[in-house]
Amino acid sequence: MVDNILHRIRGHILQSPERPALVSDSGVTCFGELGRRCEGIRSCLREIEPGPLVVIGHKEHDCVAAMLACAFSGRPFVFVDRSNPVQRIEVIAHIAGASHAFVAGGDIDLPLLHQIDLRAIEAAPLPADPTIPAIGGDTLFYIVFTSGSTGQPKGVAISRENFKHFDSWYGPMRQRLAGDGAHVNHASLAFDMGMLDLWPALANGSAVIMMDHRNNVLARNNVRLLAENGATTPASWFSTPSLLQIMCTDKDFNGEAFPELRCFFVGGEVVQKSLIRDLWRRFPNASLCHAYGPTEVTCVTHAKVLDEADVMTGDLLPLGPALAPSSMRILREDGSEASGGEPGEVQLLGPQVGQGYLPSDHPRNHAFGDWAGMRTYMTGDLGYIDIDGSLILLGRVDRQVKWNGNRIELNEIERVANDLPYVRQATCVPLLTDGRVTNIVLFAQMHTDRHVTRDRLIAEMRLALPAVMVPRDIRIVDKFILNVNGKVDAGRMLELRPSEISEPG
């Protein structure tokens, strides 16, 4: 179970206290200090009634200590980036069943939560008996919240047993390809990519270099942190292709500057072959792993080490087979299994499949099930299995999209826009290039007596949505064009000429 990961982290805390554990722009935290901060927070936890905890912050090292303290204590945690609107944070806490929040970086006005300022908690010495109490594998490890098709965020519940099975193959694979060197984290800790960045690396005794995701478009700042942190050098990397494309705009992001960086996992959205070729030119000794896996099946189920043959064809990049203990099937609309090469919805099976959505009555829980004694999840992804047994993804079968590495439900954006009093109707249209979402257009029709600027629309939507979910391309229109089924005709809306789109008031 996760207990094995925690035992290994505790071992590094006791045996290698001066080894760097967390590295960021704010400094370096060694394993010993991480353990002492964790113990201080654990002492505080003993005074809080049982149940999940919310951890609110950004990339502060104390956030990792708080999550680790929860894990040692058998308490599920939910990390929420403090950039989220207050209303959304409180909704997430309510759905998770959390009444207390550990907060890094200063208090937030959260009247519905008991806040505990992590800065006010003193570090504590490690206990004389470092034993970690045994905790059942079905106990939740963490809850990750994503956009919800109902217009509200939904929680993905991952158990300690789920994460153990993920780490059983991912941890050894990363170590085999990268050794004991540092791992680079770019994703928000609120995403499952943040979870896979932290725990396997720390369990291996490797430092985690935590890049500020506010620098995602500033390659030079990230290169500077990787090169000049004074504590460690990067050996492995997991990110979206979008971030790597930005990093490749910096001439110093290469194997000469970072000779130990020899393992890249890339996934989360469509990966272009041009990016793979560019990375090989920059890092000729690196292994490039094409990765796939939904949050609901504990981070990653596929990770194929690419070779030259994979990029020489005109086909999409392969993902390889599902890695044990996971497996996959491709299903037709009637639920029967598709033949090899025949497209259908990807179903994932095995012990990495999570515990479902929160709230427990969420309508999307029908995506979880059982087959042949294995837990299953219908991903909503369209794909097929090629002649070599590799998964080839073709896109989504629903309205959930990946945009700039973030998984976004278009319905949630539309709900927020349509709830504004001056909006008569709003709809989102994703724009794709080579199968990858490159833009989201929000069409909005105002009530005839209201004149609203795009800037105001963006500002008010940001009160209810994270900034990454608010479209920048907002087109105010006089009317919506419908197809013969009475639905918005997205294609024709996109064809509207500027003269047919209202000027902002």
Tens digits of residue pLDDT in 97-144: 999 999 998 878 999 999 999 999 999 998 877 778 889 989 999 999
Cα 81 to Cα 58: distance, rounded to the nearest angstrom:
5
- If you average pLDDT over residues 494-500, what whole number do you get? 68
pLDDT in tens, 184-243: 998 899 999 999 999 999 999 999 999 997 777 688 999 999 999 999 999 999 998 878
Q: How far is CA 492 from the centre of its chain?
A: 33
| Side chain identity at residue 143, one-letter code | I
Which amino acid type is present at position 18? E
In whole angstroms, what is the distance from residue 163 CA to residue 170 CA?
10
Alpha carbons 53 and 217: distance in angstroms, whole number: 32
The top-scoring range by mean pLDDT among 259-263, 391-395, 401-405 is 259-263
Task: Tell me the C-alpha distance between 431 and 410, whole Å.
Answer: 12
For residues 251 and 265, give the distance between their C-alpha atoms in angstroms, rounded to a whole number: 21
Percent of the chain with pLDDT over 70: 95
Residue 484 pLDDT more than 50? no
CB-based burial label for 383 (10 Å; 0-12, 13-18, 19+): buried
Amino acid identity of residue 243, one-letter, is L
Instruction: Name the pLDDT band for 245 (thresholds 50, 70, 90).
Output: confident
Average pLDDT of the residues in 302-309: 96
| pTM listed for this prediction | 0.82
Residue 112 structure tokens: 């519905």
Please state whether the peptide bond connecting residue 325 to the residue before it is cis, i.e. omega within 30 degrees of 0: yes
Coil, helix or strand for 271? Answer: coil
For 217-249, the DSSP string reads T-HHHHHHHHHHSSS--EEEEEE-HHHHHHHTT
Contacting residues for 136 by C-beta, under 8 A, at least 6 apart: 1, 160
pLDDT digits (tens, 9 = 90+) for 287-304: 999 999 999 999 999 999
Angle, CA 134 vertex, CA 52 and CA 349 arms, to 5° = 70
Higher pLDDT, residue 305 or 405: 305
Which residues, in sequence order, are bridge partners of residue 142? 77, 158
d(CA 453, CA 190): 32
Averaged over 265-276, what is the pLDDT? 87
The contacts of residue 228 (CB under 8 Å, 6+ apart) are none
Q: How many residues are listed for the chain in this entry?
A: 505
Residue of higher predicted confidence among 107 and 327: 327
pLDDT digits (tens, 9 = 90+) for 152-180: 899 999 999 999 999 999 999 999 999 99
d(CA 469, CA 466): 6
pLDDT at residue 485 is higher than 70: no
Amino acid of residue 286? A
Residue 270 has pLDDT above 80, yes or no: no
457/453 Cα distance (integer angstroms)? 6
Average pLDDT over residues 383-394: 94
3-state secondary structure at position 333: coil
Residue 505: pLDDT band (50, 70, 90) is very low
pLDDT band at 418 (very low <50, low <70, confident <90, very high): confident
Widest pairwise Cα distance in the chain: 75
Residue 82, phi then psi, degrees to nearest 5: -70, -5
Reported as a pLDDT band with limits 50, 70 and 90, residue 499 is very low
d(C-alpha 71, C-alpha 65), whole Å: 10
pLDDT tens by residue, 436-478: 888 999 999 887 767 888 899 999 999 999 988 999 899 998 8
Do 375 and 276 form a contact (C-beta atoms < 8 A)? no
What is the residue type of 29? T
Side-chain-facing half-sphere of 227: CA atoms under 13 Å: 15
Angle 82-293-87 from CA coordinates, rounded to 5°: 25
- CB distance 115 to 48 below 8 Å: no
CA 118, 121, 125, 126 dihedral sign is negative
Residue 43: CB atoms within 10 A of its CB come to 13
Structural tokens at position 378: 């219908």
Q: Per-residue pLDDT tens for 17-57?
A: 999 999 999 999 999 999 999 999 999 999 999 999 999 99
Q: What is the mean pLDDT of residues 364-383?
A: 96
Give the Cβ contact number of residue 414 at 10 Å: 20
Q: In this predicted structure, which of 22-26, 247-251, 381-385, 422-426 has the lowest mean pLDDT?
A: 422-426
- pLDDT band at residue 498 using 50, 70 and 90 as cut-offs: low
Which SS3 state, helix, strand or coil, does residue 38 take?
helix
> For residues 447 and 401, what is the distance between their CA atoms, to the nearest angstrom?
29
Three-state DSSP class for residue 81? strand
pLDDT class of 504 with cuts at 50, 70, 90: very low
On the question of pLDDT at 375 being above 90, the answer is yes
* Mean pLDDT over the full length of the chain: 91
Q: Which domains, and CATH codes, for the chain? A: 2-385 (3.40.50.12780), 400-500 (3.30.300.30)
Kindly provide the b/e burial profile for residues 80-89, where b requires at least 16 CB atoms within 10 angstroms of the residue's own CB. Answer: bbbebeeebb
pLDDT in tens, 65-89: 999 999 999 999 999 999 899 999 9
Cβ distance 25 to 184 under 8 Å? no
Q: Which residue has the tokens 């290169």?
A: 223
